[in-house]
């Protein structure tokens, strides 16, 4: 087995941002540290139920089957002052065979995380996975990010995609890069290599593209169709357990569009102008306008309140992401 030199690699790496991007960034970093066959030297922990005594004992214990190990901690956005203090003490005399990964989402107060990482002088490195405030301008515009992501993924899969199909993917997958990645991979399997992926190919995926988005989830909630709500949710969860967090973002995004749409029409705007303003294709516009009539001001306020409370409960570690999202959907779909 070829051993990799790790002399220039940081002992602490922070990746904050979109779950798809952070996972990919840290996977690349992992392959820089560990050789093939050393997967048993990755120890995974979750901040919501972390036991620092166990984690740091492992960090101080020389790995049995390799010369180095990775301590991978997910949910870094939940870190509190006591967590920072435990790691600060450890990094006063760290093990040079243990590499600690902190993975998290974009959250309020993340400056505390950066301040902590910066305090681990000479031994740390901030890997700030875009899109993020202060991250590369290449990812500063979300629409451009989605287009760039699609282009790069298409290139890596050696696919050909029509402009119309790419536009549908942009609109239906919105902020969900994990789901967008999964959809493109499915298209690569479903469409012959010598064909150009068309709008028809994308639409043929049916519920894999349309029925598992914030758009359709909001529609199911507006109809109080709790069975359909959870069918969409479980489809996403089966695709990837991390989709629970992404689904919360999708729903919040769609509710904001509903609020903006109602406000625009009440101010005298036309349906066609609304479609152009919110970049909604004709295929979705009629359904979107129907959603608007199902959400009055009181219902929207309650929905945003529940979204905020759910997000806060997750970020403070009061409840697991999966349980919080399922309870939110149950409350929204039955009241």
Domain ranges for the chain: 12-136, 141-206, 211-335
Q: What was the pLDDT predicted at 24?
A: 79
Q: What was the pLDDT predicted at 249?
A: 73
Token pair of 233 as six digits? 């949710």
The radius of gyration of the chain from alpha carbons, rounded to an integer in Å, stands at 22
Q: What was the pLDDT predicted at 244?
A: 63
Which class is 141-206 in CATH?
Answer: mainly alpha
Number of H helices, E strands in the chain: 15, 5
Q: What was the pLDDT predicted at 181?
A: 78
Contact (CB, 8 A) for 33 and 68: yes
CATH classification for the domain delimited by 211-335, as one of 1.20.272.10, 3.40.50.720, 3.40.50.970, 1.10.760.10: 1.20.272.10
Partner residues linked to 104 by β-bridges: 16
Find the distance separating the first CA and the last CA of the chain, reported in whole Å. Answer: 59
pLDDT by residue (tens digit) across 53-93? 999 999 999 988 788 999 999 888 888 889 999 999 999 89
Spatial separation of the C-alpha atoms in residues 185 and 180, rounded to whole Å: 9
Instruction: Please check whether the two domains, 12-136 and 211-335, share a CATH topology.
Output: no
Reported pTM: 0.53
Q: What was the pLDDT predicted at 211?
A: 40
Ranges of beta strands (E only) in the chain are: 12-16, 42-46, 69-74, 98-104, 124-126
- Which residues of the chain, if any, have pLDDT below 50? 1-3, 5-7, 130-140, 207-212
Token pair 């004992």 is found at 57
For β-strands 12-16 and 42-46, DSSP reports them as unpaired
Domain 12-136 sits in CATH 3.40.50.300: yes
């Amino acid at each position: 087995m070829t051993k990799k030199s790790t002399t220039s690699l940081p002992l602490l790496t922070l990746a904050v941002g979109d779950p798809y991007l952070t996972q990919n960034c840290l996977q690349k970093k992992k392959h820089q540290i560990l050789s093939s066959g050393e997967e048993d030297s990755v120890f995974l922990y979750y901040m919501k139920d972390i036991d620092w005594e166990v984690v740091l004992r492992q960090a101080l214990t020389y790995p049995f089957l390799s010369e180095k190990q990775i301590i991978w901690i997910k949910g870094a956005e939940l870190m509190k002052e006591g967590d920072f203090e435990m790691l600060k003490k450890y990094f006063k005399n760290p093990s040079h065979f243990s590499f600690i990964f902190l993975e998290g989402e974009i959250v309020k107060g993340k400056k505390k995380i950066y301040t902590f990482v910066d305090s681990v002088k000479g031994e740390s490195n901030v890997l700030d996975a875009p899109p993020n405030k202060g991250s590369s301008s290449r990812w500063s515009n979300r629409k451009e990010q989605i287009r760039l992501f699609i282009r790069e993924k298409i290139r890596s899969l050696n696919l050909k995609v029509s402009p119309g199909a790419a536009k549908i993917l942009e609109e239906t997958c919105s902020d969900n890069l994990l789901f967008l990645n999964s959809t493109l991979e499915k298209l690569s399997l479903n469409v012959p290599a010598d064909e150009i992926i068309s709008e028809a190919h994308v639409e043929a995926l049916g519920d894999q593209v349309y029925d598992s988005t914030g758009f359709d989830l909001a529609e199911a909630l507006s109809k109080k169709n709790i069975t359909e709500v959870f069918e969409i949710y479980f489809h996403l969860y089966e695709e990837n357990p991390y989709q629970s967090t992404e689904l919360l973002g999708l729903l919040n995004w769609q509710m904001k569009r509903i609020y903006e749409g109602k406000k625009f029409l009440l101010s005298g705007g036309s349906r066609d102008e609304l479609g152009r303003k919110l970049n909604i294709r004709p295929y979705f516009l009629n359904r979107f306008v129907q959603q608007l009539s199902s959400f009055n001001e009181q219902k929207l306020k309650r929905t945003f309140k529940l979204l905020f409370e759910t997000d806060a409960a997750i970020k403070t570690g009061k409840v697991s992401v999966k349980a919080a999202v399922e309870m939110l959907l149950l409350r929204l779909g039955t009241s």
